[in-house]
Structure 1
Amino acid sequence: MPLFGSSENLLRALKRNFYLLSADLDDVVKPNVAYLRECGLGACDIAKLCSRQPWIPTANLERVQAMVECAENIGVPRASRMFRHALHAVAFLSEDKIAARVNYLKNTFRWTDAEVGIAVSKAPKLLTMSIESLQRRSEFLISEVGLEMTYIVYRPAMLMYSLEGRLRPRYYVVKFLKENGLLSRNRDYYSAVKITEKEFVEKFICPHKDAAPHLADDYGAACRGEVPARFSFT
C-alpha cells in the first residue's frame, strides 16, 4: 500500500501484474524499490512509475538497472525532473526501436544528434508516439504554422498536444487575433499552446468578447474539427 499510494492504484496494478501478490518482498520487490530510490526517485515518483509499469517491482533487478541505463543513454540524467518520464518511455522499448525513432526525428525535423537529445530529454514521451502522430503534427507545425525546426527542439511538448483539440484551434484563434489587430504580431504561438484550456479562454477569448463576440463560438467549432469562415485567411 505505501508503495502504490492508494488501494485504487494497488488494485489497478494487480489487474496488470497479479504476480505482485506472490513476489518475494525481501529478495525482489524491496531491492527494486531501493534501487529506484538510489537513482534519486522519491516515494511519489516511484508510486507513479510502478502504477503505470506494475511489472517493475517484481522484475529482475538487472532489468530495472538496464531500464535506468537506457534512460540515461537517451540524455535524461537521474537528477532530471523528467527522469521518471524517461523510465516510463523506455520501459518496453528495445535499443533498436529507440534508434529507429531517433532516426525518424532526425530525418523529419532535420535535427542533429544533439538536437534530438535536447528534444528527447525535455519530452521522453516522443519515443513512444506513433510515426503517424508525429508526422501529422510536424506537418502542421512546420507547413501551416511555419515554425522553424530549431524552435520545436526546445519546445517538444508541442508534438504531444492534440492536433485537433489544441494545436490547430488555438492557432486559428491566435492568427485571427493578429490579423485583426487584437494581438501583438510578436506574441509567441507556444505561449498560447502550453497553457491550460481555462487559461487560454481567459487570456485569448474573454478579453475580446466585445471586439469579436463570435470568437468563443468559432473556437468551439474549431475544436470540433470545423473551420469557421472567419478563421480562413488568404
Structure 2
Amino acid sequence: MLHLRAYVASHLLSSPSTSAISTLRRLISAAAPAISPHPRFAVEDYLVHTCGLTRAQALRASTQLSHFKSRAKPDAVLAFLADLGLSSTAVAAIVATDPKFLCAGVERTLAPVVAGLTELGLSRSEVTRLVSLHPSHFRRRSIVSSLQYYLPLFGSSGNLLLVLERDTYLVGSNLEKVVKPNVLFLRQCGLMDSDIAKICVSRSRILTAKPGRVQAMVACAESIGVPRGSGMFMRALRAVAFLSEDYIATKVKYLKKIFRWSDAEVRHAVSKYPYVVPSGEDMLQRKSEFLISEMGLEPAYIAHRPIMISLSIKGRLRPRYYVLKFLDVNGLLDQNPDYYYVFKMREEVFVKKFICPHKEAAPHLAQDYAATCKGEVPTNFRFT
C-alpha cells in the first residue's frame, strides 16, 4: 500500500493539475483487484451448510469436488434424494461416504437406476435403503443388472438387502469371472440356492472370493468329515469358511485334549456339529469343565451329542441340571432322564415335565429355577 501511495503521488506531481483527479481514478482502478460478477463456488461451505457435513468431513470431501463451478448439479442430486424420501441425516451420510455421488447425473443415471430397481420388484423403502448402503454403486447403472442376477439367487429383496448390509463387495464384484463361477461350483457340490443364501448371511464374502479359495473352503469342510452333498455340508462350509487348514488342525487337537476325545470321537463330534471348530477356546474350556468335571458326563457321550456344547451354561445347562439333581436328591424322580433330551427340550416342555408336577412337594422349585437362570445359586441348589 505504501508503494502504491508513493507511485500515485509521483504521478500526481508530474501530471498537469487539471488532470490530477482523472489520473488518480485511473491508477486506483488499475491497482484494485478485479471483482468477478460470478464469484467462485465455495464447495466446502456448500457441503457444510447445504449437505449437513461437519467441517472436517467437508474438508476431506471437497478435494473430490474441486471441479464444481456452481451448485446446479449438486442441488439437482440433493433434490432427487429428498424426493426419494431420504432424511437430511441420511443424505449427509451418503455425501460423506461418497462425495462423488453429487456428481451423478439425475436424468442420465440416478433416475434410470431407480426405475430399473423398481421394475425388479424393489419397494421405494428398499431403494432408499440400498442407496444408503452402497451409494458408490448406486450411481452406476450396472447395479440394476447385478441385482437382476442376485434376486433369484437369494430368493427375495429382503434376503438380498440383509446380505448387502454386511458385504460392501457383492454388488461391485465381477459377475462373470468371480460370482457366477463360485455359484456354479457350490451348486455342483450339492447346495441349493437357498443353502447358498443362508451361507451368505454370515459368510457373504464366499461369493466374492477367488474361485480357487472357494474350492479350498470346500476341501476344508470335507477334511472335518463332512462330504459334499450331505445334509450337514452347508453348515460345515459355513463353519470353516476362511479358516486355514493349520487353524482347523490345531483346533481339533485342542478339542481332543479338553474333551478327552479319541481321534474317532473328535471326528464324529466335529462332523455332527461343525460350529465347534470356530468356537472360542475359553468357551470350550468352560463347557468341558461343566459337562465332564461337574456333571460327570462321559467324553464319548458328549462326542455323540456335541450340540450340547452350543447350549448356554448359565441360561440352560446349569439351571436344568440343578433341577434334576434337586429332584433326584429329594426322591422326586421316577427314573434317571437322559440329559441330552432334557437340555434340548423347549422351555415350556421342561417346566411342564419337571417343575409343574412338584408344586406341592417343592413349592419353591420354580422360583429357584428362575433364580438360577439369572446366574444365582439358591440355597436349595447348593449340593455339597
Kindly indicate whether the alpha-carbon contact (under 8 Å) linking 2:259 and 2:299 is maintained by their aligned counterparts in 1.
Answer: yes
Alignment of 1:69-108 (within 5 A): 69-108=219-258
1:201 alignment partner in structure 2: 351
Q: Does 1:173 align with 2:349?
A: no
Structure 1 position 194, deviation (Å): 1.4
TM-score with structure 1 length normalisation? 0.94
Q: Which moved more, 1:82-91 or 1:198-207?
A: 198-207
Q: Does 1:112 align with 2:262?
A: yes
User: Equivalent residue of 1:20, what SS?
Assistant: coil
Distance 1:99 1:147 in 2: 25
Structure 1 position 75, deviation (Å): 0.5
Structure 1 position 185, deviation (Å): 4.1
Kindly indicate whether the alpha-carbon contact (under 8 Å) linking 1:222 and 1:228 is maintained by their aligned counterparts in 2.
Answer: yes
Kindly indicate whether the alpha-carbon contact (under 8 Å) linking 2:163 and 2:201 is maintained by their aligned counterparts in 1.
Answer: yes
Q: Would the alpha carbon gap of residues 205 and 6 (structure 1) be closer, same or farther in structure 2, given more than 3 Å must change?
A: farther
2:153 alignment partner in structure 1: 3
Of residues 275, 278, 286, the one that matches 1:136 is 286
1:70-125: CA deviation from partner (whole Å, max 9, x where unpaired): 10011111233221111111112111111111111111122121111000001101
Q: Which moved more, 1:184-193 or 1:112-121?
A: 184-193
User: Equivalent residue of 2:377, what SS?
Assistant: coil
Kindly indicate whether the alpha-carbon contact (under 8 Å) linking 1:20 and 1:57 is maintained by their aligned counterparts in 2.
Answer: yes
2:214 alignment partner in structure 1: 64
Tell me which amino acid in the other structure corresponds to 1:211: A
Kindly indicate whether the alpha-carbon contact (under 8 Å) linking 1:174 and 1:189 is maintained by their aligned counterparts in 2.
Answer: no
Tell me which amino acid in the other structure corresponds to 1:198: E
Alignment of 1:142-157 (within 5 A): 142-157=292-307
1:18 alignment partner in structure 2: 168
Give the count of matched residue pairs: 234
TM-score with structure 2 length normalisation? 0.58
Q: Which moved more, 1:78-87 or 1:138-147?
A: 78-87
Greater relative contact order, per chain length (Cα 8 Å cut-off, separation 6+): 1
Structure 1 position 41, deviation (Å): 1.4
Kindly indicate whether the alpha-carbon contact (under 8 Å) linking 1:170 and 1:193 is maintained by their aligned counterparts in 2.
Answer: yes
Structure 1 position 22, deviation (Å): 1.9
Q: Which moved more, 1:209-218 or 1:40-49?
A: 209-218
Of residues 35, 39, 43, the one that matches 2:189 is 39
The list of structure 1 runs, each at least 4 consecutive aligned residues, that deviate by more than 3 angstroms after superposition, is none
Structure 1 position 228, deviation (Å): 0.9
User: Equivalent residue of 1:54, what SS?
Assistant: helix
Distance 1:40 1:178 in 2: 48
Distance 1:85 1:168 in 2: 27
Q: Does 1:184 align with 2:370?
A: no
Kindly indicate whether the alpha-carbon contact (under 8 Å) linking 1:172 and 1:231 is maintained by their aligned counterparts in 2.
Answer: yes
Q: Does 1:211 align with 2:361?
A: yes
Kindly indicate whether the alpha-carbon contact (under 8 Å) linking 2:272 and 2:306 is maintained by their aligned counterparts in 1.
Answer: yes
Tell me which amino acid in the other structure corresponds to 2:261: W
2:127 alignment partner in structure 1: none
1:3-51: CA deviation from partner (whole Å, max 9, x where unpaired): 2233333223223322211223233222211211211112221110112
Q: Would the alpha carbon gap of residues 71 and 223 (structure 1) be closer, same or farther in structure 2, given more than 3 Å must change?
A: same
Structure 2: stretches of 5+ with no match in the other structure: 1-150
Distance 1:187 1:107 in 2: 28
Of residues 118, 122, 134, the one that matches 2:272 is 122
Aligned sequence identity (%): 62
Structure 1: stretches of 5+ with no match in the other structure: none
Distance 1:137 1:16 in 2: 30
2:62 alignment partner in structure 1: none
Distance 2:152 2:361 in 1: 54
Kindly indicate whether the alpha-carbon contact (under 8 Å) linking 2:154 and 2:193 is maintained by their aligned counterparts in 1.
Answer: no
C-alpha RMSD of the superposition: 1.5
Q: Which moved more, 1:188-197 or 1:25-34?
A: 25-34
